[in-house]
Amino acid sequence: MRTLLFLFACLLDTALFAGKPANLPGTPGAPGNYEVKSPDGSLVVHIQAGAQLQWSADQDGQPVILPSAIGLQLQTGETLGANVKITDAKTENVNTDFTPINYKKSTIHDQYAQLTLNCKGDYSIIFRVYNDAVAYRFVTKRNGELIIKNEEANFNFAADDRAFIPIQWDYRRGKIFNSSFENLYREINLSQWPKDSLAFLPLLVDIGANKKVVILESDLDDYPGMYLDLNATRGLIRASDSVRWGLKGVYAPYPLDAALAGINYIPGSRAGYIAKTTGSRNFPWRVIAISRQDKDLLSQDIVQKLAAPPKLSDVSWIKPGQVAWDWWNNWNITHVDFKAGINTETYKYYIDFAAANHLQYIVMDEGWSNDLDLFKVSRNIDLQQIIDYGKQKGIGVILWATWYAINRQMDSVFPHYAAMGVKGFKIDFIDRDDQVAIASTYVIAQKAAAAKLLVDYHGTSKPTGLPRTWPNVIGYEGVKGLENFKWADEDQPRYVVSIPFIRMMAGPMDYTPGAMRNATKATYRPVNNNPMAKGTRCQQLAEYIVFDAPLQMLSDNPTIYMKEQECTDFIASIPTTFDETVPLDGKVGEYLALAHRKGKDWFVGAMTNWDAREITIDCSFLPEGHYVAEVFKDGVNADRDATDYKKETIRIQRGGKLTIRLAPGGGWAAHIRPV
């Protein structure tokens, strides 16, 4: 039925061929239909240019996106994408490789077919078709300024499909478009979309036949982030006799002013448009990624591929690594001769721990300074002494800061603290993704890079390619991380086997794993000062392998890590960037298994939701040879005591198969070395 509906809705006037557009009836300026095929020919995009610009896509003959209108509505009343007059159509086939920086792969293969439609009115639309993704963007070439009243971006589906929907819920000060961007997925049909609710990206839709579609965006420079909602008729669109369920893009209006609300900087009023920008520019890519198997989503690179290339020529000073972090564990170190807290002695202790375990950094979180003035340092902190002590031990110091303070003070703060020896800033409570907020993240990245400072964005929306464009941005939250489970009794194990297939496709994800107090469903309770995590110890270990985070936190306190030295040694052995990524198995929301290579060593992580299960790992990803694996697996009593685990050393070789038993909320982690 899906295919029949799709063919009816997408009926074209002529047969077209891969990468070759047909402009009908063939004269410049006339409306027409165009077709672009992926390099392997399996994914086909159809473009209808006429009274309304529309696109649709099918893969293996199955509808993926039904005809969906796109356009840029200008404040002047003109709409780019309406009454389209094509002046020129150009095709291009690209097949190349590039080297990402601080990523899960050392090489990304970039192959696609591209169609550029140049239109009367000094604008263009570019479509790129990959074997597993489709992207399009508008490009304008006009003088002066453009005011974008709205952007029409639609994603119409053939049926009332099941989806993983990250609904916005925690409005800051009760205002929409202001939130922490931390949310669980509502696993519902599109028809069950909550009334008057918006969803963040990325969002996953199950279109049947084992195919998943993930909606994303990339190269979001000087432009608001996209939310999704059902279309104006709450999903029902009639095109002849076909019925489609449609999602539409929604954007935060341009903020006209803002005021402090605690440490949030919240707009008081917004304009009747979404962006005020230069007339000659590339607009963001609108993207769908498609998988035939869920596991394929674990190695997707589409946001990296579409991001603007690096702005930095020298990246030698940008060092990824692991971080001893203070806030989650509430500075709760013990068995010391000083009062633990936000003071010099405590941070020297964190530095000693980091050095002893070969970590690279510590974070000094909220409390080292005034939240609104970064030059007002706590009287209990001798910052220069801490920085110098860290330098002696080979440990860098990263400082927490509010976005409000950084925006006001970065021109003086960055050079000042860089001169003291600070290595970077963790910038928190952005809590917006309107045009002003997004533009600010680019400016901060640029000015931090000028001072050779790293940036870790928190309280922010998902990444959209900025870590490629400005590689000193090596951390991004935009996820309901471990910190939430200091106070929230929610389904953590199901979430952690969902986000690698969805949120992680957007880019690095500072989830901050590492809890050493592990709980079953029955034993978990929220505790702020000595927090625990749902799921087993081995699930926490596996998260260090599975979750992409060039700047990876050890969230628990040094005292407990030293008591659990066997696990700490394993965590410290795991790199934060890799040379190769191989998805092994998985199903969204249920389980996954993933392998990474760094040099000649391999790291394999597997995790499950609350269902105990047994999975088989095929070791054919290993090169020829013999290997020894250090394995951490759930103990036989992990279903009763989630801290129960067993460490063992096994020998394996290419082509061998490993049977893994995962406890409820369980995990499995291995470091594999050649012998």
2: its two tokens: 């899906």
- What percent of the chain is helix, strand and coil (3-state, nearest 5)? 20, 40, 40
Residue type, 241: D
Contact 225/217 with Cβ under 8 angstroms? yes
Residue type, 481: G
Q: Which residues contact 196 (CB under 8 A, 6 or more apart)?
A: none
**265 strand-pairing partners:** 260
- 3-state secondary structure string, 485-512? HHCCCCCHHHHHCCHHHCHHHHCCCCCC
241: its two tokens: 């006799």
Catalytic residue among 35, 219, 428, 433: 428
Q: Which residues contact 216 (CB under 8 A, 6 or more apart)?
A: 201, 202, 287, 288, 289, 302, 303, 464, 505, 506
Q: Is 539 helix (H, G, I), strand (E, B) or coil?
A: helix
150: its two tokens: 């709205």
Q: How far is C-alpha 201 from the geometric centre of its chain's CA atoms?
A: 9
316: its two tokens: 């030698």
Catalytic residue among 483, 510, 585, 634: 483
End-to-end CA distance of the chain: 55
396: its two tokens: 């860098």
Active site (annotated) includes residue 428: yes
Sign of CA dihedral 225, 228, 233, 235: positive
Closest C-alpha among 273, 182, 281 to residue 224: 273
Contact 426/401 with Cβ under 8 angstroms? yes
Contact 124/104 with Cβ under 8 angstroms? no
513: its two tokens: 């794993």
User: What are the φ/ψ torsions at residue 467 (nearest 5 degrees)?
Assistant: -65, -20
Q: How far apart are CA 121 and CA 138, in angstroms?
A: 12
Active site (annotated) includes residue 97: no
**187 strand-pairing partners:** 164
Q: What is the DSSP string of 622-652?
A: SPSSEEEEEEEEE-TTTTT-TT-EEEEEEEE
653: its two tokens: 């070789």
The catalytic residues are 428, 483
